[in-house]
């Protein structure tokens, strides 16, 4: 008996990712248990003045998922729904942290549906432990000397330290804790 081959499910997880946080990592990881492939799509936005360049952000996310061929990291500009169609994705995934996110996300989801009803937006709730976490706050806390460990991947923390170090200074690697 012939079995019908199922179409690969591809989801786009769009954002600015300046930089990627553990909240983003949590969403991407959970997407992998629902979709066959996740495309992390970085918006190239000339209006914003990001801390990390697009290439740096690509590198940070690729490093985090270098062992997982089901995660792709790309950039896009223009309409998100057009990009989703181009890469054969049927779903846009967004994370929701708090009620305050909802209004903006609802507007985007409804506008995207109006633009292209074939693309569905799916929301994933951030875990309580990351419900206050954002790239903007990470940058602010870091620049004011606060501790951001546990909020971003270790490599991101290192790159933040490199960015704020005086020219020529080599930031030492954080020593790995010995596992017990
Ligand atoms: O990480 P962010 O800044 O919350 O991500 C916002 C993003 C990239 C998802 C949003 O700005 C976007 O989709 N921009 C693409 C332009 C677009 O499609 N606009 C119309 C739909 S609202």
**55-102 residue pLDDT tens:** 999 999 999 999 999 999 999 999 999 999 999 999 999 999 988 899
Instruction: Give residue 47's pLDDT band: very low, low, confident or very high (50, 70, 90).
Output: confident
Dist. CA 156 → ligand 1 center (Å): 23
In the chain, the number of structural domains is 1
Cα separation of 65 and 81, whole Å?
Answer: 24
Residue 178: inside a domain: no
Cα separation of 28 and 103, whole Å?
Answer: 22
Residue 177: inside a domain: no
Residue 74's Cβ-count burial label (10 Å; 0-12, 13-18, 19+) is middle
Answer whether 21 contacts ligand 1 (Cβ < 6 A).
Answer: no
Q: Which domain covers residue 130, as residue numbers?
A: 10-164
Residue 169: inside a domain: no
Please say whether the beta carbons of 18 and 93 come within 8 A: no
Instruction: Determine which residue's CA is closest to atom 8 belonging to ligand 1.
Output: 15
User: What are the φ/ψ torsions at residue 146 (nearest 5 degrees)?
Assistant: -80, 165
Residue 101: inside a domain: yes
pTM surpassing 0.85?
yes
Residue 115: inside a domain: yes
């Amino acid at each position: 008996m012939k079995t019908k081959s199922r179409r690969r499910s591809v989801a786009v997880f769009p954002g600015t990712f300046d930089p990627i946080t553990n909240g983003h990592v949590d969403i991407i990881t959970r997407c992998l248990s629902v979709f066959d492939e996740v495309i992390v799509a970085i918006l190239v936005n000339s209006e914003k003045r990001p801390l990390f360049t697009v290439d740096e952000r690509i590198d940070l996310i690729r490093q985090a998922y270098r062992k997982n061929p089901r995660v792709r990291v790309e950039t896009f500009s223009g309409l998100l729904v057009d990009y989703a169609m181009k890469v054969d994705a049927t779903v846009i995934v967004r994370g929701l942290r708090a009620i305050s996110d909802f209004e903006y996300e609802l507007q985007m989801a409804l506008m995207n549906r109006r633009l292209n009803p074939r693309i569905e937006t799916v929301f994933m709730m951030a875990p309580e432990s990351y419900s206050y976490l954002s790239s903007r706050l990470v940058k602010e806390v870091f620049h004011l000397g606060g501790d951001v460990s546990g909020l971003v991947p270790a490599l991101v923390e290192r790159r933040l330290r490199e960015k704020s170090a005086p020219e020529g200074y080599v930031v030492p690697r954080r020593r790995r804790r010995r596992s017990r």
